[in-house]
Structure 1
């Protein structure tokens, strides 16, 4: 029996290939993580973007371990749609949570699962971009988790929120999953199996997705006076 390593919890491939009693549960884990990252404020540490990109690479396995569906495109389309729906439901949960407990969150002390600074940064981000923040945040770690909560706190119009919620969720899931699936095919034709280079893929995606966040934080850093 392979010894469990806690570092696997931040490795997207671990969730995708997870099985219990010989039954592959990767699809259900992916869907739950998407919901948790966007619907539960404790989900900000979960591997969102890299998880979806790798889900695109493993799309056929994820779908056909649950139900056999012929046709490559259909498998990717169904996976992307399922992920998008979970993203919509996650944001709806976050919005509801923010509307019901906004005051409590701003008074809450920091814990391992909750960092108020992320909430405040997301609030600034939301005030700067308005409804578009829901779309931008979907592609940014941390902000992706807190944007719907902030929308609920500031009582954003529900119809407007749902429009940006649905649009952003489908853009996020379809772009990343289709990119993962078809880039895998392109590289495979060149003799490169991306499944053997997962670590590098994760690092590249993490750098790309966190760069805008780091840039924003650096810009906010006060300049020391001489």
Structure 2
């Protein structure tokens, strides 16, 4: 029987952004698909991917199955080994993505984020770099740690570090700490909450809450951008 919660999931996100759909559709390759998405979000300016919710969801799937009473969907031996493998793979993906992002920013520089039309202009929007610059100015090198938990900023922070020619040894130290914190907190939270009976019995509802929490910051950023654009246009016309 279809639950009420499952009816709302498609309304929140398309299937290709739904963490449950992504993990279930990938089947035995779920961990590697999630690792690829995490890598892309951290290093290739694909800021709209559901990194936070995917980490949380795959953590939950190391503790529960798709249906009530079934074993964990993600398994690599016993539970300890499974959680260890998932954490290590996703940590490597996150840090590797950041290193790639750093070198993209270092080699291509500001020219990559110039105003342009179409999809490329929306993804490589200079406003994202400006926002990340402000974050850097406020928090310094610790931005590489804090930004892990801030959608959009997380995606562009490594490129900005590369554009600014941040010392690579300093960069890799901070980005590794941030990667460890992000992956461990999200995956472990999902794993432990997945063992709570209420979460197991309301698994789809829990995933909906994850999706909502992940979407809220992006929705706020989108609304802010929509508010700023008309103001900028009016200012330009009065000059």
TM-score range relative to shorter protein: 0.7 to 0.9
Quick check: 1:94 aligned with 2:97?
no
Q: Deviations over 1:92-139 (max 9, x none)?
A: 000000001113124342542332211211122122211110111111
Aligned residue pairs total 203
Residue aligning to 2:204: 196
Residue aligning to 1:59: 62
Residue aligning to 2:114: 107
Within-5 A mapping of 1:74-223: 74-112=81-119, 113-186=123-196, 188=197, 190=198, 192-197=200-205, 198-207=207-216
Do the aligned partners of residues 110 and 126 (structure 1) sit closer, same or farther apart at CA in structure 2, a change above 3 Å counting?
A: farther
Distance in structure 2 (CA, Å) of the matches to 1:35 and 1:132 = 21
TM-score by length of 1: 0.80
Distance in structure 2 (CA, Å) of the matches to 1:48 and 1:191 = 21
Residue aligning to 2:53: 50
Residue 182 of structure 1 deviates from its aligned partner by 0.3
Distance in structure 1 (CA, Å) of the matches to 2:178 and 2:117 = 29
TM-score by length of 2: 0.76
Asked if 2 retains the 8 angstrom alpha-carbon contact of 1:110 and 1:116, the reply is no
Asked if 1 retains the 8 angstrom alpha-carbon contact of 2:38 and 2:94, the reply is yes
Do the aligned partners of residues 160 and 191 (structure 1) sit closer, same or farther apart at CA in structure 2, a change above 3 Å counting?
A: closer
Distance in structure 2 (CA, Å) of the matches to 1:14 and 1:191 = 18
Residue aligning to 1:40: 44
Q: Deviations over 1:119-174 (max 9, x none)?
A: 21112212221111011111111011100000000011111100011110011000
Residue 54 of structure 1 deviates from its aligned partner by 0.4
Distance in structure 2 (CA, Å) of the matches to 1:191 and 1:133 = 33
Consecutive unaligned residues of structure 2, counting only runs of 5 or more, are 1-9, 64-71, 232-239
Distance in structure 2 (CA, Å) of the matches to 1:110 and 1:176 = 35
